[in-house]
Amino acid sequence: MFPDILKRLRKNKQKTQKEMAEFLGITRQAYGHYENGSRQPDLSTIEKLADFFEVTTDYLIKGKERNVTDTDLSDDEKKMLAFFKNPELNLFFKEMAQSKEEQLEEMRQIWEIIKKRGLTK
Amino acid sequence: MFPDILKRLRKNKQKTQKEMAEFLGITRQAYGHYENGSRQPDLSTIEKLADFFEVTTDYLIKGKERNVTDTDLSDDEKKMLAFFKNPELNLFFKEMAQSKEEQLEEMRQIWEIIKKRGLTK
DNA sequence: CATTATACGAAACATAATGTTTCTGTCAAT
DNA sequence: ATTGACAGAAACATTATGTTTCGTATAATG
């Protein structure tokens, strides 16, 4: 699946294997291996390719776009959404959703403590 | 970046390295290499891991969140959805949604403190 | 306290993968 | 016909991964 997509993306960008290889810092043949599926690039190369072609790594690897819609939500996620919509909690979580990552990390740590205490006492 | 994310996702799912290794059909040490960054899994393994943790390969590889493109939700809801769709926060909020009211109250109070501190420092 | 089990990390080796070199073929352009 | 650009395939060299083995830390158990 991956090989054909790669080839198509390259053709669309009007690039030769040689050019792609130079961009990646490998030989033309090595890049050619990717396109005919005989070899697989490592993760850093995947990233470079995804960036170059401006696609997600998901698309390169699986060949599928991942548009997340509300119908894609799991039951747990739906439950959480309902929970978050609770008017009494709304402000609290709305604020958290907009907070900095460091503050969230603190919350996570504190939560661990509260959880443990709740079990033992 | 990839190794830490993998470890956190596993911990969130309460799995051991051994269990993950069995799931992938490799030894525990081989999987351990992924988490400490000394080895990188191939693409098919990446896919298996992404499926297992229910995240995109983009998130596993680059550590970026999924794109939320919902059209039926309000801006606030979209923000919250994007926020708690962050795979690493999943367990955290799942637990909170099921926790006792007293514990939530504590969280709210602590949150106030963290908020204020964030403003002043 | 000693012991057993669980979970994890690290070194060294065997194995499997990739990257390169070399050769071959195709297709335009001249 | 011939040259040059482009790309596929085989075989080897190189690099990576996966396994085995050993060691450490922690928690539970007698």
Residue B75 or residue A27, greater confidence:
A27
Tokens of B31: 């999987």
At residue B54, the pLDDT reads 84
Over residues A51-74, mean pLDDT: 69
Within 7 Å of a protein beta carbon, the nucleotides of strand D are 5-10, 16-21
Residue A2 or residue A116, greater confidence:
A2
pLDDT band at B72 (very low <50, low <70, confident <90, very high): very low
Residue type (1 letter), A33: H
Average pLDDT of chain A is 71
Residue A2 or residue A76, greater confidence:
A2
B 48-107 residues inside an 8 A Cβ radius of A = 54, 56-58, 61-62, 66-73, 76-77, 79-81, 83-85, 89-90, 92-97, 99-100, 103-104, 106-107
Residue type (1 letter), A69: T
Residue B81 or residue B28, greater confidence:
B28
Which of A107, A119, A120 is the best mutation test for B, with the most CBs of B within 10 A? Answer: A107
Q: Do A118 and B107 touch (CB under 8 A)?
A: no
pLDDT band at B68 (very low <50, low <70, confident <90, very high): very low
Is-contact A10 A20, C-beta < 8 A? yes
At residue B62, the pLDDT reads 82
pTM of the model: 0.65
Over residues B91-101, mean pLDDT: 55
Tokens of A31: 């890049």
Residue A78's alpha-carbon distances to A95, A98, B94, B97, in angstroms, are 20, 20, 11, 11
Residue B64 has pLDDT above 90, yes or no: no
* CA B1 – CA A47 distance, rounded (Å): 13
- B31-60: burial string, b at 16+ Cβ within 10 Å, e else: bbebbeeeeebebebbbebbeebebbbbbb
Of all residues in chain B, the one with the smallest CA distance to A58 is: B57
At residue A108, the pLDDT reads 57
* CA B109 – CA A16 distance, rounded (Å): 60
Tally Cβ neighbours within 10 Å of residue A39. Answer: 13
Query: How many Å from the CA of B29 to C1' of D22?
Result: 13
Q: Give the nearest nucleotide to A21, CA to C1'.
A: C19
A 12-41 residues inside an 8 A Cβ radius of B = 40
Residue B100 or residue A88, greater confidence:
B100
* CB of A108 less than 8 A from some CB of B: yes
pLDDT band at B99 (very low <50, low <70, confident <90, very high): low
pLDDT band at A51 (very low <50, low <70, confident <90, very high): very high
Q: Do A111 and B89 touch (CB under 8 A)?
A: no
At residue B100, the pLDDT reads 53
* CA B80 – CA A121 distance, rounded (Å): 33
pLDDT band at B91 (very low <50, low <70, confident <90, very high): low
CATH code for the domain defined by B2-62: 1.10.260.40
Residues of chain B with CATH 1.10.260.40: 2-62
Residues in chain A: 121
Residue A30 has pLDDT above 60, yes or no: yes
Residue B13 or residue B72, greater confidence:
B13
Phi-psi map region of B6: left, alpha, beta (phi>0 left; psi -120 to 50 alpha): alpha
* CA A61 – CA B44 distance, rounded (Å): 9
* CB of A4 less than 8 A from some CB of B: no
Residue A113 has pLDDT above 90, yes or no: no
* CA A5 – CA A59 distance, rounded (Å): 8
- Tell me which range, A27-36, A71-80, B107-116, is most confidently predicted by mean pLDDT: A27-36
